[in-house]
């Protein structure tokens, strides 16, 4: 029989489509990985090399039995590490007969994916349910990178535990001069001189919100001899809404050149203003770079079921600016929103 909704067969197909859309759950994944084991984040056609995206998508397929695309906030380059990269996936839970079931709790998704990732230096540290209009790539408001440098104490030769995790060098650096050079980059500038020739961004103009140098203690201080006082561990921290391809590593290379006395702060100003790429030092090694965090507006996380999601705990982990409301009903039986953004370095 025919109705305003079509034939019964058409109605059944329409109902099935609606059922899949309504019961599909989008999850935000918080991911950490050692980039030295991969050719980068992005999946490659060649099966001879592993990508982070490839192993995570394989873990999801092993979990639910079907292909699922993982949409990342920040596409890291080969060798670049991540402490908290983010991505989203869409999962539909069905039984053996194909009937759609309610979504799995995020804890079950995290446990299943981590079990399938045991052979790789990748882990899902957190999973959160988000609304269907959340995008890990386009909803991110800020990204934070940390570059780790270790100098002195002959770490470039002997520090086994720092290999592949830091830029190691023999000489110590003039940290005061490096801090002065940091001020040159802060703000909105044309970073033509500080991007790769392969960068596909339409505009070279970016806004650096934070660029600072932190002097920290070594992870394994006992590995340096007690007589060695020149050992330095520096964290170069930078934050921006997005970055150009290789921008962070070129800025780090320039700061290190200043620390070595090979360049002055005035030289840095001249390069930035004249946009002379040829004057910028060679790219800093990838293994010292860490994607430290990806940040989102709190609005995407205000309406999550209280029994599934601890908003305050999440804000503490992922740097949300909270605007907590007194209306307790906003945390009861509502869907949640989240989004993500991506950048290349």
Task: Give the phi and the psi of residue 179 in degrees, each rounded to 5.
Answer: -65, -40
CA 55, CA 41: separation in Å to the nearest integer? 10
Position of tokens 């044309």? 190
Rg over CA atoms, the chain: 23
Give me the residues paired with residue 30 across strands.
86, 126
Q: How many CB atoms lie within 10 A of CB 214?
A: 11
pLDDT 10s digits, 306-316 = 333 343 444 44
User: What is residue 191's predicted lDDT score, i.e. its pLDDT?
Assistant: 97
Helix 106-116 to helix 52-64 angle (10° resolution) is: 120
45 SS3 class: coil
User: DSSP of 178-197, one letter per residue?
Assistant: HHHHHHHHSEEEE-GGGS-T
Residue 322 clears pLDDT 70, i.e. is over it: no
Residue 158 clears pLDDT 50, i.e. is over it: yes
Residue 258 clears pLDDT 80, i.e. is over it: yes
State if pTM tops 0.85: no
DSSP 3-state percent helix, strand, coil across the chain (nearest 5): 30, 25, 40
Average pLDDT over residues 246-260: 97
CA 290, CA 58: separation in Å to the nearest integer? 24
What are the residue numbers of the active site?
A: 77
Position of tokens 């703000």? 187
CB of 300 within 8 A of CB of 139? Answer: yes
Task: State the DSSP H helix or E strand holding residue 289, giving kind and residue range, or none if neither.
Answer: strand 289-296
Q: How many CB atoms lie within 10 A of CB 188?
A: 11
User: What is residue 315's predicted lDDT score, i.e. its pLDDT?
Assistant: 45
Residue 95 clears pLDDT 90, i.e. is over it: no
CB of 42 within 8 A of CB of 74? Answer: no
First to last CA, the chain: 59
Q: Minimal CA–CA distance to 294: which of 32, 11, 36? A: 32
CA 116, CA 119: separation in Å to the nearest integer? 8
CA 95, CA 287: separation in Å to the nearest integer? 43
Residue 107 or 157, more confident: 107
56 SS3 class: helix
CA 86, CA 300: separation in Å to the nearest integer? 14
State the pairing for strand pair 187-190/167-169.
unpaired
Q: Minimal CA–CA distance to 304: which of 62, 103, 16? A: 103
CA 193, CA 77: separation in Å to the nearest integer? 19
pLDDT 10s digits, 271-307 = 999 999 999 999 999 999 999 999 988 777 654 543 3
| pLDDT level of residue 340 (50, 70, 90 thresholds) | very low
């Amino acid at each position: 029989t025919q109705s305003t909704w079509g034939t019964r067969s058409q109605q059944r197909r329409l109902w099935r489509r609606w059922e899949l859309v309504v019961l599909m759950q989008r999850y935000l994944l918080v991911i950490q990985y050692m980039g030295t084991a991969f050719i980068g984040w992005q999946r490659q056609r060649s099966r001879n090399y592993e990508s982070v995206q490839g192993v995570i998508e394989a873990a999801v397929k092993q979990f639910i039995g079907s292909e699922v695309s993982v949409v990342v906030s920040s596409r890291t380059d080969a060798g670049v590490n991540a402490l908290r990269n983010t991505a989203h996936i869409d999962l539909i839970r069905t039984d053996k007969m194909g009937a759609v079931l309610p979504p799995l709790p995020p804890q079950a998704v995290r446990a299943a994916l981590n079990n399938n990732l045991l052979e790789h230096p990748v882990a899902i540290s957190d999973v959160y349910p988000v609304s269907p209009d959340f995008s890990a790539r386009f909803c991110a408001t800020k990204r934070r990178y940390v570059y780790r440098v270790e100098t002195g104490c002959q770490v470039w030769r002997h520090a086994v535990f720092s290999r592949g995790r830091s830029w190691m060098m023999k000489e110590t650096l003039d940290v005061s001069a490096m801090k002065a050079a940091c001020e040159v980059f802060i703000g909105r500038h044309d970073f033509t001189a500080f991007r790769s020739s392969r960068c596909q961004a339409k505009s070279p103009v970016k806004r650096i919100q934070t660029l600072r140098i932190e002097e920290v203690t070594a992870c394994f201080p006992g590995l340096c001899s007690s007589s060695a006082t020149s050992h330095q561990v520096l964290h170069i921290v930078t934050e921006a809404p997005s970055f150009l391809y290789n921008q962070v590593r070129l800025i780090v290379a320039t700061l290190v050149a200043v620390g070595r006395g090979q360049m002055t702060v005035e030289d840095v100003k001249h390069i930035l203003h004249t946009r002379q790429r040829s004057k910028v030092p060679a790219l800093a090694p990838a293994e010292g770079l860490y994607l430290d965090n990806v940040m989102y507006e709190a609005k995407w996380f205000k309406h999550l079921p209280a029994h599934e999601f601890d908003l305050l705990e999440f804000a503490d982990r992922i740097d949300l600016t909270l605007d907590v409301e007194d209306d307790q009903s906003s945390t009861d039986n509502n869907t949640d929103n989240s989004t993500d953004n991506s950048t290349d370095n």
